[in-house]
Structure 1
Amino acid sequence: MTRILILSSASDGGALPALDLLPHESRRLPASTASLANAPDADVIVVDARADLAGAKALCGLLGTAGIESPILLVATEGGLAAVGPEWGIADVVLDAAGPAEVDARIRLVLGRGAPNEDEHAGRVQTSGLTIDESSYSAKAHGKPLDLTFKEFQLLHFFASHPSRVFTREQLLSEVWGYDYFGGTRTVDVHVRRLRAKLGDLEQLIGTVRNVGYRFVVEDASDS
């Protein structure tokens, strides 16, 4: 059962009459800032914009800045649709006269769009204070972006993807630089040194194994 929070100050109480015919758990609160303080958890938030477009837009903006992640389904009249745009920060809009089948479909769609995408996190590694996102070639240390070259990023991502495993310089050249790279193993040492410098207080994550190579040292959260 989907939990729906309806924010409406209309006296008729009929922001979306079709909801009464659907097997969802609905709760209505006045469309005001004060209501948000004690608002219950909801899977979908319905904002009534039928009578007050400006107020509804402001409320949608407030929901976004307040960090509320539930998708917003806006209820509008046909005449009010022209005022609705991307800047409202809503997931979808529905006419107040929509029937149960349409309303139910829109609720399913906004919930589906908000569901985590497994592929979205496939290239992301989070460990020991680092967040490495392969899809955007970006890395952060304690939430702060690292200014890495492309090869430094590849090297860090490779290390973090194989925690505690020791790699020789030759193996790193093969895995990160590729078999067709003709440079010497010294380039690995140079990149490791630069990477450590950019990691700052996390430089110890890249450990040296004497006479062998390097490994990624996973920090235990209980040690910090």
Structure 2
Amino acid sequence: MINHEFDIIRVLIASQDDAMIKKLILCLTENAYETVTVNNKTDARKNLLSFQPHILLLDRQIPTMNSLDLCREFHNACNIPILMLSNDDNIVDKVLSLEIGCDDFMTKDFDSRELIARIRAIVRRSHSNMPDFSTLSGTSPSADSDSSAKCITFPGLVINLTNYSVSYRGATIEMPPRELELLYFLASSPNQVFTREQLLDHVWGYEYVGDTRTVDVHIKRLRAKLPGKNSWSIATVWGVGYKFQTKPAKSE
């Protein structure tokens, strides 16, 4: 029995690896998932619109296209959850994939039970922020959509998650998706303290295994891009984590 809010999970597979595709389809159909397989960018875009999958399983090694570019484009365009599958567990490749928008990363020698568990977890987390495929067709979201809910403003700062942009003191600040999502998440709950583990879970969206210092690195980069004195700040709560502070820190 599938334990999630959807009756059937739709999975789009982008790969040219016949052996892996066969293994994926067998595993997914046994769990009553619907699947569509594509092997190029044009068909991937077409089936995102027609099939409207809940998740994209993307092969890291596709000879005829750059999977990282595809991941970045689709993540930014429609916020489709993406699980990257790779020949090896290279840490640099894994970090890069997660940084540009992947929700999870697995090797192709995956255990079927773990794959299903990870897909369920990703889809469950994305339920409140479903992909918007209208952006791929060139159409605009409906007038009823509440885009303002994804735009946060503070004096001198505008964080827009709808179009992934940040404006600071009137200037556009370039930020990778993860940095922007981390800033948006913190600013969405002013003065609330989050541990590094909570930030990894909410922003990165996967069960992180390894060093939580990746959060520290992203915080350092955010502070460098938002310098100067403001009525808000990204504050460190020693021994706990971080918060988006909207009141000046009191002196001891």
Shorter chain as denominator, the TM-score bin is 0.3 to 0.5
Structure 1 length-normalised TM: 0.47
Q: Which has the larger radius of gyration?
A: 1
